[in-house]
Structures are given as structure tokens and as C-alpha cells.
Amino acid sequence: MAGWAGVSVILLPGIVRYSNAVLLNVPGTAIGLAVLAWFLLAVIFDTVLFGVFIATGGLFNFGGGVINLPDWFFAAELVVPPDAVGYFAFTLFGVEQTFGLRVQLPGFVTPEAALLSLFLWTAVPLLLALWWFRTQYL
């Protein structure tokens, strides 16, 4: 998995540059590349985050059906939209167990925190795009 992550990170700037120059004229291609980049970054981020957890001495034990992860792990996962959506659904509907495993969520993982993360992922790029297009001579 790490090898593919490295290849993706190396190729991503070239893909973005090529897509900006050529492929953005085709809306379907631009949307497809955006979804692909979002998916790859979310998967890579989660994999690296779990690797950091294990590398810093974290233990992952399925015994007893309870997964105990540190609070910083959940705080970092709230930054990624797919994880924020998952935590939003888990906390909103009161899901405490999935696939037979119980995850102890910290108190700050609430539907409001997940919605704030998702709102920022929507608002900040739109505001940056608005600023960018106002400063460009088109």
C-alpha cells in the first residue's frame, strides 16, 4: 500500500498540471479527476495516520471487541471529509458498534463538530476561488 501511496504522491502534481492545461475543458474529466484526488488523499491520509499511531507505540487489539484509539487520532480524522461524514452519521444516529467492534468516541466528536469540518471544507475553497477569480484578469 505504501508503494502505491508514494507513486500517487509523485504523480499527483503532474496529473494536476496536465488536467489544468488540457483536461479541464471537458467537465466530466475535471470532475472525475477531482473525485479521484479526493479519494486518494483520504485513503492515503488515513493510512499514514494509522501508521503514525502504530509507530508511536499505539496498540491495536481486537480482543474484547473494543477499539481504543487516542483522542488526537479522532481529531485528525475529523479533518478529512469522508471520515467527518462517517462520524456525523455515527453520532447523529447513535451507532456505537460496527462490524462487531465497539469504538469509544471522545466527547468532542459530535454531529456539530463533523458539520463544522464539512462546512469548512465547502466554504474555504469557495472563498479562495472567489478571491482568486477577482484578482485575475479574465
pLDDT tens readout for residues 24-79: 566 666 677 777 777 777 788 888 888 888 888 877 766 666 677 888 888 888 88
| Same domain as 51, residue 24 | yes
For residue 134, the enclosing domain spans: 63-138
User: Residue 14 — very low, low, confident or very high, per pLDDT cuts 50/70/90?
Assistant: low
| Same domain as 108, residue 69 | yes
Higher-confidence residue: 113 or 22?
Answer: 113
| Same domain as 52, residue 82 | no
Domain boundary among 19, 35, 58: 58
User: For residues 95 and 109, what is the distance between their CA atoms, to the nearest angstrom?
Assistant: 13
Find, among 36, 35, 48, the residue nearest to 5 by Cα. Answer: 48
Average confidence score pLDDT of the chain: 76
Domain boundary among 58, 82, 97: 58
pLDDT, position 5: 54
Q: Is the pLDDT of residue 1 over 60?
A: no
| Same domain as 83, residue 54 | no
| Same domain as 84, residue 134 | yes
